[in-house]
Structure formats: C-alpha cells, structure tokens
Amino acid sequence: MKILKYLSNLPGWRTSRKIIVLESDDWGSLRAPSDDGFQMMRKQNLPLGNREGIRFNQFDDLADQEDLEFLFETLVNFKDREGNSAKMTAMSLVANPDFKKIKGGNFKKYYYQSLPESLRENNKSSAWTLWKEGFNKGVFIPEFHGREHLNVASWMRDLKDESSLARKGFDYNFWGFRQKSFAVSYQAAFDLEYREDLEVQKEIIKDGLDLFESLHGRKANFFVPPNGSFNNSLESITAQKDISCICTSKIQNEPQGSGKTKRHFRYLGKRNKFDQVYLTRNAFFEPSNPSKSDWVDSCLAEISSAFKFKKPATISSHRVNYIGVRNKKNRDQGLQELKRLLNEISKKWPEVEFMSSSELGKLL
C-alpha cells in the first residue's frame, strides 16, 4: 500500500517548490439533526452508519462564530516564506434541504434554503460575517462543493414511501442513511442512480454556481464533487460556469447509472477537453477519526513523499475535525493537532508556500 502511495506521485506536473494546499470539505452543509435528535434516533436503533459515519453524525454541524474564530486564529499564526498565512480552501455547499416546505408540499417537490438561511434558522447568523472576514484575511477560501451535499433525485424518490428509512430520518431533519444497500449514497450528490438523473444534476450545478456567485460576490474557480462521484458529461456545465479546476481521484470511477461505472486515469495537471485542470490529493488529515493513532505523523510522511517526487502536497481534511458546537473537545483536539501539523511543516520545510486550490490551479 505504501509503495502504491509513493508511485501515485510519479505522473503529472512537477515543481521543486514546497507547496502546501489544505482542502477541507463539507463547509455549509447541514448534515445531521440536533444532538437531541441524534440521540433519539440512536434509541430507536436507526442505522446511523459505521464508526466513520457516526463520527460525522455525532460531531459535524454548521460552524458557529466561535468555531470560525478559533480556526482563523490557528491559521493566521503560521506564515510561509512570503509572509502569507496558512490557508484553508473551504469546499462549501450553498444550500440545504428545506424540510418544512418539502413536508408541506407532501413530498412531491424539492425545496432548499440558502446557506445564510440555514445559519439564521439555526441561530448562527453571526457566522456568515466570519465567512467573509476569513476570505478577506486570505485564510478561509470558499470554493464549490455542490449546491447541497445531497443526491436530491434519489432522496426525493425514497421520501415518497411513507415506511422508508428516508421518511423516518426526515422526521428528525436528517437525510444520512439509505434503505437499499446497493443504491447510491444520499451524500454523493452527483452519483448516478439512473441515467435520467443527469438532467436534474445539470440544473443543480447551474443553480448552485449561480447561488455561489450571488452569496460570495465572485465566481467559484474550483469544484470538488461530494464523495467524489461525478459523471463526466457534467464537466461541460461547470466549464460554461467558469470552473477552471476539478478535483478527482487518481483512479476515477465515473458513474454511468444502474450500478455501472467507467474507470479513468487522472493525474495532477491533466486537462480535459474543456481545458479544465484536474487537481488531485495526496495527503490526509482527519484527527477526529480514531482509526489512526497519530494523524500528524502520517500526514507528514505523505507530505514528505509528495515533495520527494516534486509534487505539491494537497491535504484532504473535513469540517468535522474543527467543529465544537456539539462537543468542544472535538474542536479543541482538532485544532491542537492542526497547530502541531503546521508547526512541524514550518520546521521541516522553512521554504514552504501556503496556497489555495485555485492558486495552485493558476500556477499549473
């Protein structure tokens, strides 16, 4: 496995510069209900997922003002050789399901609420100002992760069945599990259960990118499909909306619908027919995941491997590691480990350059 990780850094664009990109997924998504709702579902023995799924369902939430203030304070304390602060590319969602309207419409039509509306409904309106402050400080750079972190077509089909797990979860403002084991995950917004869902997904991408521009006052440059699944015919829509870079796995399993997939080989700097650049990740940092005893050490090893093969180190992380709304210990631990990681990076590679994903894309 380690050999494969090393070899995966061989193909693609190279540089002698020590570039660090920190990409963090899920910002803006309202994935799980309140902690009370989570505990109620647990008492009813509803399937809340494996250990990894429970980590998200139990700790993840919309970031409040304090979460963002502590995160920015951590990032701004570390400078690169040019004096730039460490920065996080926040892969963000711009909307969430509007449960009240969907129920009021008898589950016949999908409705969503914008991110500021979700924050307001959850008494976190002040956090939206922090989103803008973080961008202006150059430490928190929102990019496009989708309109919502939800496979709308699949979810709405399942909601029509009153006895479904989807409906049971819906009662707690929750959409995180499926009844059919062979079906696409609700969280994989652009996975393809049926080929005809592509038309819905095209409209979601168009609408989502328009909403991103409206909310942030600028167009998104970079797109990371939720959970990675994405039919490549959708690239034309993102190109029309001025997306210049797309994140992809090095081996992309492109969904075709009805359980079929196609495999594609990707590498850093490869371009598609729309001249969009593929960016890939080669390091991972998930300190709230107990599967590893030391995420800092493992991430440093992956960074070292990337630099050895003259590649930027692009670190994959998730919002859940930095959220304290449900459990402050979760956030404190995540930020403590992030500080340790950034400190070790600065000591080992004093010539380091901190970049956002779009800055790396422009360099390529």
Long-range contacts of 183-188 (CB under 8 A, 24+ apart): 183/154, 184/151, 184/154, 184/229, 184/255, 185/151, 185/227, 186/150, 186/151, 186/154, 186/155, 187/31, 187/149, 187/150, 187/151, 187/226, 187/227, 188/151, 188/226, 188/227, 188/228, 188/229
Residue 49 φ/ψ, nearest 5 degrees: 100, 180
What pLDDT is attached to residue 11?
A: 84
* Sequence-ordered alpha helix ranges (H) in the chain: 2-7, 35-43, 51-59, 65-76, 99-104, 115-121, 126-137, 152-159, 165-170, 197-216, 235-240, 295-308, 328-348, 357-363
What pLDDT is attached to residue 136?
A: 97
What pLDDT is attached to residue 54?
A: 78
What pLDDT is attached to residue 188?
A: 94
Q: Hey, CA dihedral for 100, 102, 105, 106, is it positive or negative?
A: negative
In angstroms, the CA 139 to CA 187 distance is 27
What pLDDT is attached to residue 2?
A: 59
* Cβ proximity of 222 and 244 under 8 Å: yes
Q: Supply the DSSP symbol for 61.
A: -
What pLDDT is attached to residue 164?
A: 85
Pairing of strands 313-318, 353-355: unpaired
What pLDDT is attached to residue 51?
A: 67
CATH code for the structural domain at 2-363: 3.20.20.370
Q: Supply the DSSP symbol for 16.
A: S
What pLDDT is attached to residue 38?
A: 73
For every one of its 364 residues, what pLDDT tens digit does the chain have, with 9 covering 90 and above?
A: 556 665 678 888 999 999 999 999 999 999 876 777 777 777 877 776 666 777 888 899 999 999 999 999 999 999 999 999 999 999 999 999 999 999 999 999 999 999 999 999 999 999 999 999 999 999 999 999 999 999 999 999 999 999 888 898 898 888 867 655 557 889 999 999 999 999 999 999 999 999 999 999 999 999 999 999 999 999 999 999 999 999 999 999 999 999 999 999 999 999 999 999 999 999 999 999 998 999 999 999 999 999 999 999 999 999 999 999 999 999 999 999 999 999 999 999 999 999 999 999 999 9
What pLDDT is attached to residue 35?
A: 72
Q: Judge residue 62's burial from the number of C-beta atoms within 10 Å of its C-beta, 0-12 exposed, 13-18 middle, 19 or more buried.
A: buried
Residue 131 φ/ψ, nearest 5 degrees: -55, -45
What pLDDT is attached to residue 182?
A: 56
Task: Report CA Rg, the chain.
Answer: 20
What pLDDT is attached to residue 4?
A: 61
- CA dihedral (96, 107, 46, 40) in degrees, to 10, reads 70
Write out the H or E segment, with its range, that includes residue 315.
strand 313-318
Q: Hey, CA dihedral for 10, 12, 15, 18, is it positive or negative?
A: negative
